[in-house]
Structure 1
Amino acid sequence: MTISPVDFASLLCSRLCHDLLSPIGALNNGLELLADETDPAMRERCMELLAESARTSANKLKFFRLAFGAAGGFGDAVDSREAQAAITGLLGDNKRLTLNWLVEEPQLPKPAIKVLLNLAMIAGDALVRGGTLDIGGENNDGLVEIVLKAEGPRIVLDPELRAMLVGGQVDDSTVTPRAAAAFLVHSIAHDAGGSVLVSEPGDGVLLFGASMKAK
């Protein structure tokens, strides 16, 4: 499966805009309410909602900057703590989701960081009723290995995402902005001489694995 660079950039932009529309829309609505509200208690509540929406928007932007963009400059490696902070910012507000960060490496190659972040986003979305997400990664003799374990009462992974992650052939006409992250994961791993594996969900557990050469 191939997608032109322009089409892929459009998919990423569409995904980003889709995810930012809700918190930024809430900011706009809150400002409109605040302009007409005179009750002190209601104004305070509006300010709380505005602060929450602004924080959510900022966390999403920080995550997408690292997961999709050139955050950290053009160096070969990224501090693993940046990835942890980005994932916590994106998924940490979900009270039904427990995140366990098991990456001990102080740094990982930038391509591996992008794979880890995008897999974490996909795994978090798959835990539709919450659960536990374990995130691990290590650099072993020049081979970076990433493993994520999603465990919860209900796990849903779109077949299109699964096919793209493992390199399945999907007709270009079916590609959606939702699948952009999965396509990016497969492309990065493939370009680095690696691969991506996804288990079938069984007993409430779904495993994601990726390996690639450290650059």
Structure 2
Amino acid sequence: MEPRSRDKRKPSGAAVLQLELTEAIVDIALDELAAKGFGRFSMEAVAKRAGVGKSALYRRWPSKSALAVAAVSQLSVPLAEAPDTGSLRGDLQAMVASVLSWLNDPRFGRILPDMVAEALRSEELADALTTNLGDPRRERGEALIDRAVSRGELPQDVDRELMLDLLAAPIFWRLTVRRRPVGQDFLDSHVDLLIRALGVPQQTPPR
């Protein structure tokens, strides 16, 4: 008896969303969040624009908060990647450039302040943002610190939490609160300030 061939049919209905459709839905969710804010964001509107039934979304994301956080995380976390440049200064320069790219995203620049405000009123949303966005991004910053410690550029007992806060906070404050541009001169000065604040010995340039 010949072995039965495997059933190669794709799952029917909306039980499993295809990758392309999932990416399209995430993209639509980001558009909706940027245009309307979290308060007016709805699963119905996303489903309508995506051309799928609302139940298809709820099978993948149990609530609008879950969809919003998933969409924001999918956009944001990859932007936290920073290459190993071989030096603390180089790594910091790459990281602050990455933070700027993240905050300068035309959609995310509008979404983040709104989501932060909503998180102040919702512990559930705040926890979800921390778990799915904040913690993964900080893990990438931790990798930068680990490399610097292993190279002897930072002490073992460096205040990691403070360092990670200092990496992004001034850029966020200038862009979002003060609404001022951030150019290369600002980033260079920011890295210089970080180096001094961390007490990293300055190398005397050769004469």
Which one has a larger percent strand, Structure 1 or Structure 2? Answer: 1
Could you tell me the TM-score, scaled by structure 1's length? 0.26
Greater Rg, structure 1 or structure 2?
2
Could you tell me the TM-score, scaled by structure 2's length? 0.27
Which one has a larger percent helix, Structure 1 or Structure 2? Answer: 2
